[in-house]
Structure 1
Amino acid sequence: MYIGFDYGTANCSVASMQDGQPSLIPLEGEHFYIPSTLCAPTRESVSEHLFRHRNISPIDAVGEQVLRRSIAFNREESIELEADDVAFGQAALDLYLEDPRDIYYVKSPKSFLGASGLHDVQVSFFEDLVCAMMANIKSKAELHTEQTIKEAVIGRPVNFHGRGGDEANKQAEKILLNAAKRAGFNDVVFQFEPVAAGLEYESTLTENKTVLVVDIGGGTTDCSIIEMGPKWRGQSERNSSLLAHTGQRVGGNDLDIHLAFRQLMSPFGFGSKMTTGIEMPITQYWNPIAINNVEAQKDFYSKANLSALKLLHKEASEPDKLARLLTVYNETLGYSIVRRAEEAKIALSSDTNYRTTIDLLKEKIGVDISQQQMIDAIAQPKSKMAELVKEAVRQSGTKPDVIFMTGGSARSPFLRSAVEEILPNIPVVSGNYFGSVTSGLARWAEICFK
């Protein structure tokens, strides 16, 4: 059996072809979309879980080293790992929100895969993370379909990481490929996510059109200009129909992070001063919420930074606010703050004002955010997304007949209006914001594997 597999930054989903049409497969109860999250007793538990409870071994010497260290660490901590100690999706998020102190939690590992400067051990660990999530999804899909799934077309962004170029893309794709193979997929094909979304839209066309696909996902924004329609439908070779691709690691997560930074970090001392009159260092407020940046998270939660935070607390003109920032450090609350920002962003797409509450365990902080404040906060990532649209049009040398917008963040009326300003008087359409990529991947899987 073959599937289309959208291993997304925010959510994952899979689909098979049924009677000529893509059909999404439930992965979490009756839900088709499972959040791209994982939690475990310790970071080291992920590698041991694969080996002990999934019967998935490392594929090289570095992986074996990571596994040995993981098992040794858990033994030293007296952790006897049970099969259900590693949780995925909504269950992982619920465990994190319930008690962020005592678990290892990761959201959107796809954001890290193209990061520059990763050591072999880090790459191997990310492969384990992705493999664990893929193996969980594969087993859920097989349980529902009662079939063994051996082939998959997996979606990938045009560019995984903005600064790493082609090497970053190769690194990320290799991690995905190794993880998928270890999870049990015998044959794996990659397809650009905006192309996949376009294939789903193409199924509705009765005449040939030039289509601009704008896919704004959780981690990346990708644009493709593609010739589509009855002339191309079902063809396995269509390179000449692909007129332009642009992509960058800027997506819904970045909107959430920028909103959190501008509107939710003041209670923690952002913008306040030390007794000397010097403003608090900006990085201490950016790094804890930069959940898609490996180095930022590593720097903030390092032991050296704890000493720096304690010193800032002593020298702060508003020490109570710095005490809260120390709580963020001690309780690993960065993800929780970004989650509140995401909820505010969604609400402010239609409401003019929104009040969120940040739970610091011993204290709850209410923050009011206006729609205009949200618009101002996301201006930088929105501008980057707009530039990708402009560059795709420039590369193609043509204007599209229609714009197809997909991805969870494409629901934002502010992002939609930004695209309309660049290309006025061109119709903007959308389908299933979350499922178009998955459905298109299943259509391509039928062409590849049937």
Structure 2
Amino acid sequence: MAIGFDYGTANCSVAQFINGQVNPIPLVGEDRYVPSTLCAPNSETVSEYLFRCKEIKPVDTVGEALLRRAIKVNREEGLEVRADDVKFGHEALDLYLDDPKDVYYVKSPKSFLGAMGLRDMQLSFFEDLVCAMMSNIKSRSEQHLGHEVKQAVIGRPVNFLGRGGDKSNIQAEGILRSAANRAGFKDVEFQFEPVAAGLEFEASLKEDKNVLIVDIGGGTTDCSMIQMGPTWASQIDRTSSLLAHSGQMVGGNDLDIYTAFKCFMSEFGMGSKRQSGLDIPLIQFWNPIAISDVQAQRSFYAHDNFSVLRQIHREAKEPEKVNRLLTLHRETLGYSVIREAEKTKIALGEHEQYTANLNLLSEVFEVDVTRERLEAAIEPPTNKIKALVEEAVVQSGIKPDMVFMTGGSARSPILTNAVKSVLGDTPVVRGDFFGSVTSGLARRANLIFK
């Protein structure tokens, strides 16, 4: 039996299409969603965990070298890898928040997969991360269903993050495919996420329509202009119905990053001066919270950068604020700051003001944020989303009959209004923000793996 698998930037979910309806598969208790997070004692644990605890072997010489290195490091550190050393989802986040300094934590590895210029060993490690997460989801699905699952249709964005264009997309999809195969999925197909969301919406249509799907997820925004309705619903080949695609790595994560940068980082010294009158480099405030940028994270948390930060602290006119930046580095708290930015973004979707609580372990302080301030903070990613909507309409050469908005970040009234500002009086329909893509993937899996 095949499943639809939404390996999302923010969450993972799966579903089956049985007896004419989509059946979401609970993964943790009754919860259908597992946050796309992983936590372990160190990064080397992941590769050895796959080999020892999941019996998943590397598929090439690079992977074998990565595994040998991981085993060597863990042996030198006296770490005997066990199955419960690797945590996923909420368990991973809880462990990180409890002890951020002494664990390896990663959120949204899907955001890294299209990055260019990485060494083969780094790419192999990314594959291990994805494989571990997919294996976890597969095992939980099979436990619930009571049988093995070998076939899956997996969602993918129109464009992955990366400066390589098609090369980034090919690299990222290749990592996903290899990881899924290693996790035990024998047959794997991919579907654009906005198209998948459209397939679910299509089931509700009584007549053919030109629909613009706007899928604003955790890491990407994808727009697809699709002809859909009864004429198209049962067709396996939908190529001629797909009129336009646009997509970019801009989504909920970016909104959180900009919220943190514009609303929080002044409390860490951003905008303050050195005694000489020179500004403190903005990059030192951007890099710790740029959780989707591997190089930025590596640059900020590098050992050498701590010496730079100490020098900035000594020269700062407001050393008490810059001291928080030192703590951010020392305790690896970037994800914690982003977590509070996300809570702020969600709260201001319903309220005009919110008081954020930033926990630096040694200090907890509050920051008041208004909706107006949030809108100003997230204006750059909001404008990118509006441009993607316009691009899809221009590509197709037609005005949509309606807009279907989905994806976790589409809940934001700020983004809904931004999309409406591009399309004027076109009706906007809002679907299952988290489940539309998964449901469409399940429908697609049922159609092609009969």
TM-score, normalisation: structure 1? 0.99
* Secondary structure of the corresponding residue to residue 281 of structure 1: coil
| 1:40 corresponds to | 40
* Secondary structure of the corresponding residue to residue 43 of structure 2: coil
Structure 2: distance between partners of 1:242 and 1:191: 12
| 1:324 corresponds to | 324
Please list, as runs of the form range in 1=range in 2, the aligned pairs for 1:27-106 lying within 5 A after superposition.
Answer: 27-106=27-106
Shift of 1:68: 0.5
Shift of 1:425: 1.3
- Residue identity matched to 1:180: A
Higher alpha-carbon deviation: 132-141 or 264-273: 264-273
Structure 1: distance between partners of 2:70 and 2:320: 38
State the Cα deviation string for residues 22-57 of structure 1 (Å, max 9, x = none): 111011121000000000000100000000000000
Please list, as runs of the form range in 1=range in 2, the aligned pairs for 1:90-129 lying within 5 A after superposition.
Answer: 90-129=90-129
* Secondary structure of the corresponding residue to residue 395 of structure 1: helix
Shift of 1:412: 0.7
Structure 1: distance between partners of 2:414 and 2:320: 36
Shift of 1:163: 2.2
Identity among equivalent pairs (%)? 62
| 2:418 corresponds to | 418
Q: Would you say the 8 A contact 2:47–2:67 is kept in 1?
A: yes
| 1:391 corresponds to | 391
* Secondary structure of the corresponding residue to residue 281 of structure 2: coil
| 1:224 corresponds to | 224
State the Cα deviation string for residues 139-161 of structure 1 (Å, max 9, x = none): 00000000100000000000002
Q: Would you say the 8 A contact 1:218–1:253 is kept in 2?
A: yes
| 2:313 corresponds to | 313
Shift of 1:171: 0.4
* Secondary structure of the corresponding residue to residue 65 of structure 1: helix
| 1:11 corresponds to | 11
* Secondary structure of the corresponding residue to residue 127 of structure 2: helix
Structure 1: distance between partners of 2:32 and 2:113: 24
Structure 2: distance between partners of 1:238 and 1:342: 36
Query: May I ask how many residue pairs the two structures share in their alignment?
Result: 450
Q: Would you say the 8 A contact 1:261–1:285 is kept in 2?
A: yes
| 1:401 corresponds to | 401
Please list, as runs of the form range in 1=range in 2, the aligned pairs for 1:332-351 lying within 5 A after superposition.
Answer: 332-351=332-351
Structure 1: distance between partners of 2:244 and 2:304: 46
Structure 2: distance between partners of 1:28 and 1:314: 48
Shift of 1:306: 1.1
| 1:267 corresponds to | 267
Query: How well do the aligned residues superpose, as a CA RMSD in angstroms?
Result: 0.6
TM-score, normalisation: structure 2? 0.99
| 1:236 corresponds to | 236
Structure 2: distance between partners of 1:416 and 1:431: 12
Shift of 1:395: 0.3
Q: Would you say the 8 A contact 2:116–2:162 is kept in 1?
A: no
- Residue identity matched to 1:443: R
Structure 1: distance between partners of 2:91 and 2:224: 35
Structure 1: distance between partners of 2:4 and 2:433: 16
State the Cα deviation string for residues 72-128 of structure 1 (Å, max 9, x = none): 001111111111010000000010111101110000000000011111001000000
Structure 2: distance between partners of 1:143 and 1:292: 32
Structure 2: distance between partners of 1:212 and 1:267: 41
| 1:140 corresponds to | 140
| 1:276 corresponds to | 276
Q: Would you say the 8 A contact 1:162–1:248 is kept in 2?
A: no
- Residue identity matched to 2:78: S
Shift of 1:162: 5.0
Please list, as runs of the form range in 1=range in 2, the aligned pairs for 1:337-376 lying within 5 A after superposition.
Answer: 337-376=337-376
Structure 2: distance between partners of 1:162 and 1:225: 24
Q: Would you say the 8 A contact 1:155–1:191 is kept in 2?
A: yes
Structure 1: distance between partners of 2:135 and 2:408: 24
Structure 2: distance between partners of 1:242 and 1:2: 24
State the Cα deviation string for residues 389-437 of structure 1 (Å, max 9, x = none): 0000000000100100000000111111111111111110022110000
* Secondary structure of the corresponding residue to residue 312 of structure 1: helix
Structure 2: distance between partners of 1:26 and 1:132: 19
* Secondary structure of the corresponding residue to residue 291 of structure 1: coil
* Secondary structure of the corresponding residue to residue 297 of structure 2: helix
* Secondary structure of the corresponding residue to residue 306 of structure 2: helix
Structure 2: distance between partners of 1:178 and 1:237: 25
Shift of 1:206: 0.3
Structure 2: distance between partners of 1:432 and 1:357: 30
Q: Would you say the 8 A contact 2:219–2:249 is kept in 1?
A: yes
